[in-house]
Structure formats: structure tokens, C-alpha cells
Amino acid sequence: MKKILFVFGLLVTVGVSSVFANDERVSPKALASFKAEFSTAQNVVWETGSNYFRAIFSLNERRVFAYYNLEGELISLARYISSIQLPINLFSSLKNEYGKYWISDLFEVSNGEGIHYYVTLETADTKLMLHSANAGSWSTYSKNKKS
């Protein structure tokens, strides 16, 4: 009976490990932290930066990005959202103050400083990126003329 349980445990461990795309370049601490936090994640792909690891994965049919420092600590989460998922004050502000623009990109970042929203707005000749910290008002992050 103990052998059967051991083999079953080994199979489960191997199966779970393959789901998480065990990349040798990723810190074992980051992998362990990720597995503990996002045990139901699917389609995991790891990327390595100069001072971080990024896991890109699906969770509840949503694309999520988890960033870990070199010590394996989760430093931020990011996900794409739709405009109706914004806090109501931010959604209203976009509609009222930036009505001539269309939204080309919108994402939410959660980290130790709170929740941040970034939206990219465009017109035929302008690309504008706005930022909001903790559902405060929008501030201009960048503004560029299109060529």
C-alpha cells in the first residue's frame, strides 16, 4: 500500500511539474512560490529578465503575468482588463475627458504599492498613455504623435 501511495504521489508531482514548464533558467524559489500561489494555472510560459522572472499563464480563462524577483518573491501581478472592469470614477473620466480617443490597451498592475491602471488611448494622429494609482485620477504617462 505504501508503494502504491508513493508511486501515485510521484506521478502527481511529475504531472504538476510538467504543467508549470519547469525552465532551468528560472529560480527554484520562484517556481515554488508560483506553484504555491497559482496551483490551477494553465499554459505557463516563463521568461527571464536581468533582475526578474515573469510567468505568463492562464487563470480562470484570463491571461495573467506574475513577476518575481531573483529571490523568488512575487513583486507584481498584471492582467489585461476591459474598460467596464475599471473603477467607476476612472471609467467615467475616460468617457467624459477622452471621448475622442479609442482604447487600444488597458491593464491592471497589482503590487506592494496598490493597484495601478494603465490605458493606451489613440486617435488617428496621437497615442496617449495614462496611469492611475489606487483608482485616483488619471495622469499622463506618455504622449506621442503618430508618424
pLDDT tens digit string along 63-111? Answer: 999 999 999 999 999 999 999 999 999 999 999 999 999 999 999 999 9
Q: What is the pLDDT of residues 16-66, one digit of tens each?
A: 333 444 456 888 999 999 999 999 999 999 999 889 999 999 999 999 999
pLDDT greater than 90 at residue 142: yes
Between the alpha carbon of residue 123 and those of residues 20, 41, 75, the distances in Å are 40, 36, 34
User: How far, in Å, CA of 143 to CA of 130, rounded?
Assistant: 9
| Cβ-based neighbours of 142, under 8 Å, separated by 6 or more | 128, 129
The reported pTM is 0.76
Report the 3 state secondary structure along 77-141: EEEECCHHHCCHHHHHHHHHHCCCCEEEEEEEEEECCEEEEEEEEECCCEEEEEEEECCCCCEEE
